[in-house]
Structure 1
Amino acid sequence: MLLTFYLLFIGLHVSEGCTLVNNSQTLHITADTGGSVLLPCYCTDLQTKPKAEFTWKKHNTNRKTWEEISSESGQSRNRVQLVNGHSPGNLSLLISHLTEEDGGQYQCFVQAGGHVYIVLTVKGCTLINNKKSQTITAHTGGSVLLPCYCTDLHAKPETFTWEKRNRFKNRWEELYSESGQYRNRVQLVNGHSPGNLSLLISHLTEKDRGEYRCNVTESEHTYVRLTVEGNPPQSLPFVPFALVTVIFLHILVAVVYHTKRNKDPARVHCSTADGDGDGVVSLE
C-alpha cells in the first residue's frame, strides 16, 4: 500500500512538468541600441526540463501574427541564444547587437506550462543639441574636438557619419581618415562610451575651417562651425626675480673689478743681476 502511494506520488510529481514564473503576465524591459538584453523565462523549478518543446515568438505588427524566433535566419540571425547554463528550467533568451527594430512584443510559450509576454523597448541615439549649431575656435597646428553625443552614452547608433560642407559645390561631403584633406588626421575618441561620437582633428590648417555635421539619422544631426586662427604671438619666457637679481649682481661685480684693475698704475721693478752694471727692468 505504501509502495503504491509512493509510486503514485512520484508519477504526479514528474507529470507536473514546467510551470512558468510570471505565467500569463506581461513584463516591460528597456535596453539600448548596440547592447544586449536578456528576456527572462523560467520554470518554477529550475531543474525541471519542459516535457514538450518551448518556443520564443515575436509579434509582427504589420502582419499581426506571431512569428517564431530563430538564430539561423531573418533579423535575429546569429544574434539570439538561450542562456540556461546548467539549469534546464531556465528558458531565457539573450539578444545581442540590438537595433530599434528589435523592439516589440515577445512571447515565451511552454506547452502545458503557460506563457509569458515581454514588451521590449529599444532606445536609439537621441543627440544632445539635435539640429542645433555651436561655434568652436582653434589654432593652426593644434587639435580640436568636435562634440557629438547621444543623450544616453550607452546607446550606440546603428550608423553615423561626419560631414563637412563644401562651400564651392554647395553640398555636404563625408569625412574619411584614409584619403583626401583629412588623411590620418581625424579619429573618434569615444573611449568606452558608444554614445560618444565626437571627432578629433589634429594638425589643423586654415583649410579646416568651416561647417561640420554629425549625422545619426535623417532627423538626428548636430552642427559645429569651426574657426581656425593663426597661432597667437609667443610671450617671453618667465624668469624668476631671484635669478635676475643674481645675474645682475654678477655683472655689477665684474664691471667694478675690471674698472678698478684698469685704474691701477703700472709698477716698474729694477734689479742688478751682477756687478758688471747691467740692469734688468721688469714691468708688472
Structure 2
Amino acid sequence: MAYIKMWIFLNILSSLHYFITDVFPSACTPSDSGVTKITAFSGESVLLPCTCTNTQDKPKSFFWETKSRRASKDGIYIDIFSVFELYRNRITLFNQTSPGNVSLLLSDLTEDDQGSYVCLLEKTSRFIDVFIKKRIESTPLSETSLSVLISVPFLVIGGAAVIYCIHRAHKKARMETGKINVENNLDDHNSTYGILQRKYDAEEMYGTIGDRPKDQ
C-alpha cells in the first residue's frame, strides 16, 4: 500500500514538472536565432554574439561548435572547447560576470579562423559565418625614399639656379662681345680717319710748298 502511494506521488511530481515546463518558459530565452554573417580582418578580434534576452538569466547549458579551417579538417562541426589548444589565449567568454551572455570573443584572427560557428543555447541554435580579410598595411617610407623626397626640391632649386647663372653668363658674354666689336669699329674708324687726316695734311703741305713763288 505504501509503495502504491509513493508511486502515485512520484507520478504527480513528474506531471507537475512537465506542466510547469510547458507553462513557464526556460529561464534563458535566446535573444536571437538564425544566421549572422560577420566580416573581420586578420590580426583583429571578432565578437560572436549569443545571449539570453535577460543577460542575468542562467542558461541550463550552452555549447560552441565550429567547422572553421583551423578546427575542422573534415568540414563537420566540432566542439570548439575540445580543440581548445588551437585557441589558447585567444578565446574569451563573458558568462562569469553575466551568466546569460555566452558570447565568444575570438582574438588575433588569422585566415584559418574563417568558417561557420554555432552557439547551441538551450534549444536554440545560432549560426555565425565569419569571413576573414587580410589587412593591407601601408608601408612606411624608407630612409632612402624620405631623403629623395627631401632632396628633390633642393635639386629643382639648384638646377634652376644653375640654368639662371649659365643664362646670365651667356648674356654677359654676348654683351661684352658686342662692346668689343663696337670698340673695334670705333678704333677702325679712328684709324681710317687718322690716315685720311694725315693724307689730307700731307697733300695740303705739298700744295703749299708747290705754290711758293719761284724767286724764293
TM-score (norm 1): 0.40
- Give the AA of the match of 1:30: T
Aligned counterparts of 2:94 and 2:129: Cα–Cα separation in 1? 19
Matching residue of 2:124: 114
Aligned counterparts of 1:32 and 1:17: Cα–Cα separation in 2? 36
Matching residue of 2:57: 48
Aligned counterparts of 2:35 and 2:111: Cα–Cα separation in 1? 20
Where does 1:24-63 land on structure 2 (aligned, <5 Å)? Answer: 25-52=34-61, 54-60=62-68, 62-63=73-74
Matching residue of 1:198: 140
Report the alpha carbon displacement of residue 115 of structure 1 after superposing the two structures with TM. Answer: 1.1
Instruction: Name the SS for the 2:77 alignment partner.
Output: strand
Instruction: Name the SS for the 2:92 alignment partner.
Output: strand
Aligned counterparts of 1:36 and 1:86: Cα–Cα separation in 2? 20
Report the alpha carbon displacement of residue 43 of structure 1 after superposing the two structures with TM. Answer: 1.1
Q: Residue 204 and residue 117 in structure 1: after superposition, are their counterparts in 2 closer, same or farther (change >3 A)? A: closer
- Give the AA of the match of 1:122: I
Matching residue of 1:92: 103
Report the alpha carbon displacement of residue 85 of structure 1 after superposing the two structures with TM. Answer: 6.4
Instruction: Name the SS for the 2:112 alignment partner.
Output: helix
- Give the AA of the match of 2:127: Y
Instruction: Kindly indicate whether residue 22 of structure 2 is the aligned counterpart of residue 80 of structure 1.
Output: no
Aligned counterparts of 2:84 and 2:73: Cα–Cα separation in 1? 22
Structure with the larger RCO, 1 or 2 (CA within 8 Å, 6+ apart): 2
Aligned counterparts of 1:203 and 1:18: Cα–Cα separation in 2? 60
Structure 1 unaligned spans of 5+: 1-6, 126-149, 151-194, 210-225, 237-284
Aligned counterparts of 2:52 and 2:146: Cα–Cα separation in 1? 61
Aligned counterparts of 2:124 and 2:98: Cα–Cα separation in 1? 19
Name the structure with the higher strand share: 1
Report the alpha carbon displacement of residue 114 of structure 1 after superposing the two structures with TM. Answer: 1.2
Name the structure with the higher helix share: 2
Matching residue of 1:159: none
Matching residue of 1:179: none
Contact 1:72–1:78 (CA under 8 A) maintained in structure 2: no
Q: Which has the larger radius of gyration?
A: 2
Instruction: Name the SS for the 2:142 alignment partner.
Output: strand
Structure 2 unaligned spans of 5+: 1-15, 163-216
What is the total number of aligned residue pairs between the two structures?
136
Aligned counterparts of 2:146 and 2:29: Cα–Cα separation in 1? 65
Instruction: Kindly indicate whether residue 77 of structure 2 is the aligned counterpart of residue 69 of structure 1.
Output: no
Q: Residue 113 and residue 18 in structure 1: after superposition, are their counterparts in 2 closer, same or farther (change >3 A)? A: farther
Q: Residue 115 and residue 200 in structure 1: after superposition, are their counterparts in 2 closer, same or farther (change >3 A)? A: same
Report the alpha carbon displacement of residue 21 of structure 1 after superposing the two structures with TM. Answer: 2.1
Q: Residue 42 and residue 204 in structure 1: after superposition, are their counterparts in 2 closer, same or farther (change >3 A)? A: closer
Aligned counterparts of 2:134 and 2:126: Cα–Cα separation in 1? 25
Aligned counterparts of 1:84 and 1:202: Cα–Cα separation in 2? 53
Q: Residue 203 and residue 101 in structure 1: after superposition, are their counterparts in 2 closer, same or farther (change >3 A)? A: closer
Residue identity (%): 35
